[in-house]
Amino acid sequence: MRRFFTGIVGAVVEARAELRIHRTRVLLSLIGVAVAITALTTVVGLGAIAQQSTLESMERGGGRAATLSAYTYSATGAAIDSATLSAAVETIKERYAISYSSTNGNVTMGIQFADGVAQVNTQLVDVDFATMHRFQVTDGSWFQSGDANRMAPALIVNEAFWQRIGSPDLRTHPTVTITGTYPTTGVIIGIGSQYQGDPSPSAIMLTDAYVAVAGDGQFAQQPPSYEFWVPEEVAEPLTTAIQRDLTAAVGDGASVSVNRNDYAGYGGEDPLLPVKLIVTGVAVLILFLGALSLVNISLVTVRQRIREIGIRRSFGASAGRVFFAVMMESVVGTFAAGVIGVFLAVLIVENPTVQELIAQGAADLPPFPIEAALIGLGAATAVGALAGLLPALVAVRVKVIDAIRY
């Protein structure tokens, strides 16, 4: 035990002296490692943000995992009773404890603009839709649960719509007239769209608010679709259960289709696999280059080390002790470089400008991924071990007297 303890302390003393004496070489080689680790960790960190951005982009379209979509079709041409359907959906939500759901539809509403009435595509949704699809308004606010009861229904309009009415300040509660048999005033409470850059005016409205204004006649031929956000692990049995329950509710004259629409439900290859592969490939390449430079420097200096190690061996340093000291010297050095590299990577990845550039509007920016830091430190240690291994193995295997006389 005493020998082991003094061995450890002795190896630390040796490594410290070695680092002091060869500080220029060590510093130069470690700068290379630190830069490589910074690059590696930054790529992994930014990769996580890019991945999140891609994920959110997919979730904005198909909903978060797992989103089940239910569609009903009339098999005979006869209307499907939307009230029955709605009641069945409420039962399903209650029975399976589904917290988030949305009744969706697409209709066309006449909107009175200054230059005349225009038919505007209107997306009908429920309040939960924003959570389920990561929908965010660029200005104003999303619907509240009480908005369905407003006498003047709330509207969220897209950029083109808003500009067409003169880009009013939302704090002034701008209104538009919804034309029809019973013209109604709609209040614009937010600006945003699921489809960025749509040049035509479009709007989003709560389904219940629309029914209150226009009645459910619209749904007679084209019933609304329903979305349910459920835990992924029960998505499959719930798909079957909802299909069964809705089929039972609508009767024989209609068919029901329930399926997953979110990205994770596509099946087959992971849709994020290309991103992951690219990020991993770049990271490995960077690390390989960093490791190569360090190994190169280590091999260049191995001759010098052989002589020194030969001298140490002649004074009683065992092969294991020499191996440990040389390895530790390298590993401790690269670990320190790794810590610096990870620190720099955190500064880069957490930089708001960089995040904005990579995230492309992602809402839930992930914190600096701990796995990136661990990968960085692990890679630094592995590179140090690898770079220390070669000279250590060479030095340990060499004939001591030959090494000294070299």
Partner 1 sequence: MALLALAGVTRSVRLPDASVLEILRGVDLEVEVGDHVSVVGRSGSGKTTLLNLLGLLDSPTHGTIHFEDRLVSKLSSGARDRARGADIGFIFQQFNLLPGRTALENVMTPLLYATGRQFWKRTSIAGEMLERVGLSERMSSMPEKLSGGEQQRVAIARALVRGPRLILADEPTGALDIETGATIMKLLDDVAETSGAALITITHDANVAALARRHYRLDHGTLTPVDINRMLSLAVPEVTL
- Chain residues in the site for partner 1 (CB under 8 A): 2-3, 6, 9-10, 13-14, 17, 21-22, 307-308, 311-321, 399-402, 404-405
Is residue 337 within 8 Å of residue 37, measured between CB atoms?
yes
Query: For residues 32 and 292, what is the distance between their CA atoms, to the nearest angstrom?
Result: 10
Q: Which residues of 14-27 are buried (b: 16+ CB within 10 A; e: fewer)?
A: bbeebbeebeeebe
- The smaller minimum CB distance to partner 1, of residues 168 and 320, is found at 320
CB of 309 vs partner 1, minimal distance in Å: 10
CB of 316 vs partner 1, minimal distance in Å: 2
Residue type for 123, please? Q
The vertex-120 CA angle with 129 and 144, nearest 5°, equals 30
- The smaller minimum CB distance to partner 1, of residues 47 and 310, is found at 310
CB of 340 vs partner 1, minimal distance in Å: 25
Strand pairing class (184-191; 175-178): antiparallel
- The smaller minimum CB distance to partner 1, of residues 72 and 330, is found at 330
Torsion of CA 374, 376, 378, 384, to 10 degrees: -160
- The smaller minimum CB distance to partner 1, of residues 281 and 320, is found at 320
Q: Which is nearest to 30 in space by CA: 349, 383, 392?
A: 383
CB of 270 vs partner 1, minimal distance in Å: 51
CB of 4 vs partner 1, minimal distance in Å: 10
Neighbours of 297 (CB within 10 A): 18
Q: In whole angstroms, how far apart are CA 333 and each of 25, 209, 218, 328?
A: 11, 66, 72, 8
Q: Which is nearest to 257 in space by CA: 73, 67, 63, 61?
A: 73
DSSP state of 80: P
CB of 7 vs partner 1, minimal distance in Å: 8
Helix (H, G, I), strand (E, B) or coil at 128: coil
- The smaller minimum CB distance to partner 1, of residues 14 and 262, is found at 14
- The smaller minimum CB distance to partner 1, of residues 18 and 245, is found at 18
Is residue 193 within 8 Å of residue 237, measured between CB atoms?
no
CB of 319 vs partner 1, minimal distance in Å: 6
Residue 234, CB-side half-sphere exposure with 13 Å CA sphere: 10
- The smaller minimum CB distance to partner 1, of residues 189 and 403, is found at 403
CB of 366 vs partner 1, minimal distance in Å: 47
- The smaller minimum CB distance to partner 1, of residues 167 and 318, is found at 318
Q: Is 180 left (phi over 0), alpha (psi -120 to 50) or beta?
A: left
CB of 369 vs partner 1, minimal distance in Å: 41
Q: Is 139 left (phi over 0), alpha (psi -120 to 50) or beta?
A: beta
CB of 302 vs partner 1, minimal distance in Å: 16
- The smaller minimum CB distance to partner 1, of residues 16 and 173, is found at 16
Is residue 330 within 8 Å of residue 384, measured between CB atoms?
yes
- The smaller minimum CB distance to partner 1, of residues 44 and 396, is found at 396
